[in-house]
Amino acid sequence: MLSASYHFIFTTLDLTLIDLEEFKYGGANITAVRMIDSLRPFVSEVTQDWVMEEKRTGNSPIKGLKTEIPTETALMYDAVYLFAKALHQVAAARDINTMALSCTKQNTWNHGNSVLNYMKTVVFDGLSGRVMFDHKGERSDFSLNVLKLKDQGLTKQPFCTEVSQELRVAITCLGSSRKNGKTKSDDARLDNHQLVPLTSGQNSFLTKDMNT
């Protein structure tokens, strides 16, 4: 049986889709992260729309789910919206003609670079949070929620706050364990306090010998 001596950190972004009922009261410390915040109004609104669609048609992007959107589904939703937004803006500035392209040849679409360049400059709030890209075209400045399993299920935890332009970490329920529905802290002095994280720069342990 799992106890407070066990600590688990799950790297999957979809742990909220798994039924953890039998682990709630075991006392084990279970931590996870997620990208899709179901408490955001926009996410909640889209979720309810898809739930109603399933009731009407028997099918939806989140078929069988009621309150959570899988990460892959949300990312696909945002990707399609991003492409459509870029295509609309390019079409407003010039006439766009489609053409047949072959995967085995090097022919490219005349408007492809224009659409791609605009996609790199778009900033919007999607299902997966703030969507924006750096100069390399890679997504940047996105947020992940830290979740902790409690008696009421996976709960979003305060993690990082910006205080006086210094990054501080909010410590909550540090070393806590659950027993008989109550939470006990091993060190109450650190609970709900803010600590400044420090780092020490060190040379890499692995180096490349240029002579070999």
Q: Collapsing DSSP states into helix, strand and coil, what is residue 176? A: strand
Instruction: Tell me the pLDDT band of 51, cut-offs 50, 70 and 90.
Output: very high
Give the pLDDT of residue 176: 45
> Where is mean pLDDT largest: 126-130, 154-158, 171-175?
126-130
Distance separating alpha carbons of residues 170 and 91, to the nearest angstrom: 47
Q: Is the pLDDT of residue 48 over 90?
A: yes
Whole-Å CA distances, 138 to 112, 116, 120, 130: 17, 12, 8, 13
Whole-Å CA distances, 21 to 25, 130, 152, 153, 183: 8, 31, 9, 8, 17
Per-residue tokens: 55: 């009731």
Give the pLDDT of residue 205: 57
Contact in structure between 33 and 145 (CB atoms under 8 Å) = yes
Structural domains of the chain in order of their starting residue, each with its CATH number: 70-141 (3.40.50.2300)
Q: Collapsing DSSP states into helix, strand and coil, what is residue 52? A: helix
Distance separating alpha carbons of residues 194 and 188, to the nearest angstrom: 13
Which is more confidently placed, 167 or 23? 23
Instruction: Tell me the pLDDT band of 85, cut-offs 50, 70 and 90.
Output: very high
Instruction: Tell me the pLDDT band of 140, cut-offs 50, 70 and 90.
Output: confident
Per-residue tokens: 20: 């953890």
Q: Is the pLDDT of residue 142 over 50?
A: yes
Q: Collapsing DSSP states into helix, strand and coil, what is residue 148? A: strand
Contact in structure between 143 and 130 (CB atoms under 8 Å) = yes
Q: What is the mean pLDDT of the chain?
A: 79
pLDDT tens, residue by residue, 5-42: 788 889 899 999 998 888 888 778 889 999 999 989 99
Half-sphere exposure for 204 (CA within 13 Å, toward CB): 3
Which is more confidently placed, 132 or 184? 132
